[in-house]
Amino acid sequence: MDYFLELFLGGLTRGSIYALIALGYTMVYGIIELINFAHGEIYMIGAFTALIVSSVLAFAGFSGMSVLFLAAAVAIIYSAAYGFTVEKIAYKPLRQAPRLSPLISAIGMSIFLQNYVMLAQTSDFLPFPSLLPELPFLGKLGVNIGSTELIILVTTAISMVFLTLLIKFTRMGKAMRATAQDRNMAMLVGVDVNRTISYTFIIGSVLAAIGGVLIASHIGRINFYIGFIAGIKAFTAAVLGGIGSIPGAVLGALVLGWTESFATGYVSSDYEDVFAFILLVLILIVRPSGLLGRSTVQKV
Amino acid sequence: MPAMTQIRQSLVIALWFMFLTFPILVIRVNTIENIIEWRWLNMLYIGAGSFLGSFAWRYFLARKGQGTRKIAAPGGTAAAATAPPETGPDGNDLSASARSAGKSRTFPSIPEVEAVSAPADLGGVLTPAPAYADKPWLHRLLDSPRLYRPFLIALAVAALVFPFLPFASTYQINILTNALLYVMLGLGLNVVVGLAGLLHLGYVAFYAVGAYSYALLYYHFGIGFWTALPLGALLAALFGILLGFPVLRLRGDYLAIVTLGFAEITRLVLENWNEFSFGPSGIAGIPRPGLFGWEMDLHAATIYIYFLMIVLCLLTIFVVNRLQNSRIGRAWVALREDETACEAMGVNPTAAKLTAFALGSTWAGLAGVVFAAKTTFVNPASFTFLESAMILSIVVLGGMGSIVGVIIGAFILILMPEYLRAFSEYRMLLFGLIMVVMMIFRPQGIVSGVRRSYEFHRETGEKR
């Protein structure tokens, strides 16, 4: 039972990280119907920026919580800036183009960003300092959860609540929902569509950066390639939950996290990544609209 | 003053990019020795580069914008409009026929918007359009045998003589063979992506199937190259159908991600299933192809594989070319343009997609067998996603749906990094950039796919 609980918590932690990245996919897909392949790279850039900033700060003699908050803040700002710029360069000129054009452009952008980081930094794994603090009271309570895991869970939960509030109750959120429903109609009623799309990319990138900093501290090492696998898994999560649906993305991410955790725990750890892909293929065959998604009717 | 505003705009962009690339490009942390390296020079390069680049960007975007406007103008040819970089004076000849060149939902490879639909007047006839007047120079060159034949002969002679020239070392021949291998892969992927319009990101999986089938068949049963060649192709085709079946219902972007997932599964299985594929260490000692038991040294064998590759490439070109204009080829193009309309016209989309997958995979399988024989060693590291991306960028750069384009694309992308050594480090960076830039500025590729067009003429049978 203890083993089961451990796997369950591991899956939950994993799933909540996937959820942070999956939200970016699902929001972008909801609004411009594009799989933003470069989203995983935004997350990777977030982690790299946090690593660089924290190293520089540590070098300058800072320590403790100030390093964490400064590094996370800079990572978030830079990820948002990259998300914004990627959209402006690679997707905006292709708004009216056939569907496959922005997709190929997105793949190109993803490869470009990966190699940009590899050439500018290094292709080796870099150790990531554990920025997250230890919570001593956990041991006293006798809960079977590490402090990093708890921080990840709490941060994810807070981010989700903020996102939901943002989308439900602010003007920007309303504009986003309108644009997702019908872009032309939204334009007609006075929504600045370009700005709304930019906001969507920025919000998605911020969430990805939070995920990047959290998982980098959790795993303890990063390289330029982490974004690719994480991106595909997060996309799987988004599809699993029904792409375009925000609660769906969270649900899908948790299901994926548990699937991976239990499969590696009980079956084999060699095939860790294979399970995610098999799950992806299975969902797309059995229920392409996902768990919470509505199936789209193709109209002529 | 517009020039002033442009300069100011570019300055803002340059500053933005300097800000953007600051942590990644300027600072490098050496975590082992705890040193921080500051590379301020990079910032200068980025600033200057993005300042100049933004001018080029604006210029080309404006040019493209003008092109799109020209489509709307009556009588303006679509070819002239959507292919700005190559339309000089020749592209602008206005053909007399008014073309319905409005908003077309075509895949990017088709600039020539044809389809002059016949009005409800039964006196006319649809005749193949004269191919010259309104096409860019490259198409005109390709359309008239008088122009391209001498060029083709020269190329054939050069290809035949090349391995016996004094400067042609084993290394040089190897590079060229490699380029030919990618020509074959590109043409195979072109069937799936360019003709049928299915974005396939897992093409390398079938390449791996081909390579591993030769390696394993040799290892377990001692089967030679010539038997393995058709077997590898067949196995790859079977795998293609196997993958094709479940994913047929999926739309373009889902299909892309599933094929990508499939390729990753294949690679991970090859990496982890030690009893079957010998894991990451791969299989070594695969024999080169034989020629009636003739013993060859390395140089001779390299030349032999080179000629073999030329023959296989010619075969591929022949088959793909014939396929393009066949019933199934037209069904693919129809599928790419509009699936629903295609189904309404009586094309079975399932069958068309499956054949596209199977045929595309067949070429990958063939190329895989040759690859295994050429390198005499296979391991999973040769079949990563980057390889798929490379083949895709060959197709995108060359021109989706165009055979000549894919060949040119393969030679550019494979030979350039080989001969510009300083450059090879930036190869993947360049591939990514090419995909983005091509999609934005020239979605039809270097050589756009030629499409047979028909025109309506009132007088029966009389040509214009």
ipTM of the complex: 0.85
Residue of A nearest to B393 (CA): A108
Residues B189 and B44 in one domain: no
Q: Is the pLDDT of residue A144 over 60?
A: yes
Cβ contacts of A76 within 8 Å, gap of 6 or more: A46, A206, A209, A210
Q: Are strands B125-128 and B27-30 parallel, antiparallel or unpaired?
A: unpaired
Task: Answer with the one of B13, B44, B63 that is the final residue of a domain.
Answer: B63
> What pLDDT was estimated at residue B456?
62
Q: Which residue has the tokens 């756009």?
A: B448
Which residues from chain A sit within 8 angstroms of residue B16, using beta carbons? 85
Chain B residues whose CB is inside 8 A of the A288 CB are 249-250, 254
| Residue B453: per-residue pLDDT | 58
Question: β-strands A126-127, B35-38: how paired?
Answer: unpaired
| φ/ψ of residue A18, rounded to 5 | -55, -40
| pLDDT score for A86 | 92
- Predicted pLDDT of residue B84: 39
Which 341-400 residues of chain B touch chain A by CB within 8 A? 341, 385-386, 389, 392-393, 396
**pLDDT at residue number B182:** 93
Residue-wise pLDDT tens digits, B122-155 = 455 555 555 444 556 666 666 666 777 777 788 8
Query: Between chains, do A300 and B261 touch, taking CB under 8 Å as contact?
Result: no
> Is the model more confident about A64 or about A240?
A240
Amino acid A75 reads: A
Q: Tell me, what CATH number does A225's domain have?
A: 1.10.3470
- Cβ-defined contact of A112 to B392 (cutoff 8 Å): no
Residues in chain A with CB shorter than 8 Å from the CB of B385 are: 228
Per-residue pLDDT at A141: 62
Tell me whether B28 touches chain A (CB under 8 Å).
Answer: yes
Residues spanned by the domain of B36:
1-63
Report if residue A42 sits inside a domain. Answer: yes
Nearest chain A residue (CA) to B252: A100
Residues B44 and B173 in one domain: no
The minimum CA-CA distance between A2 and chain B, rounded to whole Å, is 29
Residue A81 has pLDDT above 90, yes or no: yes
pLDDT of residue B77: 39
Q: What's the pLDDT at B118?
A: 41
Residues B52, B179 share a domain: no
The per-residue pLDDT for B80 is 38
Residue A295 lies in a domain: no
Give the model's pLDDT for residue B104: 40
Contact A105 B436 (CB under 8 A): yes
Kindly state whether residue B252 falls inside one of the protein's structural domains. Answer: yes
Number of domains in chain B: 2
Q: Are B260 and B385 in contact (CB under 8 A)?
A: yes
- Please, what is the end-to-end C-alpha distance for chain A in angstroms? 54
Please identify, among B63, B87, B106, the residue that sits at the C-terminal boundary of a domain. B63
Distance CA B381, CA B277 (A): 13
Restricting to B residues 46-65, those with a Cβ less than 8 Å away from any Cβ of A are: 61
Res A138: pLDDT: 63
Is residue A293 one of the residues assigned to a domain? no
Instruction: With respect to residue B193, please indicate whether it lies within any of the assigned structural domains.
Output: yes
Task: Report, as ranges of residue numbers, the positions in chain B whose pLDDT lies below 50.
Answer: 71-122, 131-133, 462-464
pLDDT for res B187: 92
pLDDT value, residue A2: 77
- Tell me if B164 is assigned to some domain: no
Residue B239 falls inside a structural domain = yes
Residue A152 lies in a domain: yes
Distance CA A54, CA A64 (A): 10
- pLDDT at position A202: 93
**pLDDT higher for A70 or A270?**
A70
Position B205 scores a pLDDT of 92
Q: Read off the tokens for B428.
A: 């993947």
Amino acid at A284: L
Same domain (yes/no): B58, B173: no
- pLDDT at position B85, please? 40
Closest by CA to A208, choosing from A16, A18, A21, is: A21
The answer as to whether B19 is a domain residue is yes
In a domain, A292, yes or no: no
Could you give the number of structural domains in chain A?
1
Residue at A172 is within a domain: yes
Residue B277: inside a domain, yes or no?
yes
A226 lies in some domain:
yes
| Residue B264 included in any domain | yes
Residue A54 lies in a domain: yes
Quote the pLDDT of residue B183: 92
Question: In this structure, what is the dihedral angle of CA atoms A240, A242, A246, A249, given to the nearest 10 degrees?
Answer: 0
Nearest-angstrom CA–CA distance, B159 and A127: 51
Owning domain of residue A183: 2-286
The pLDDT confidence band at residue A143, using thresholds 50, 70 and 90, is low
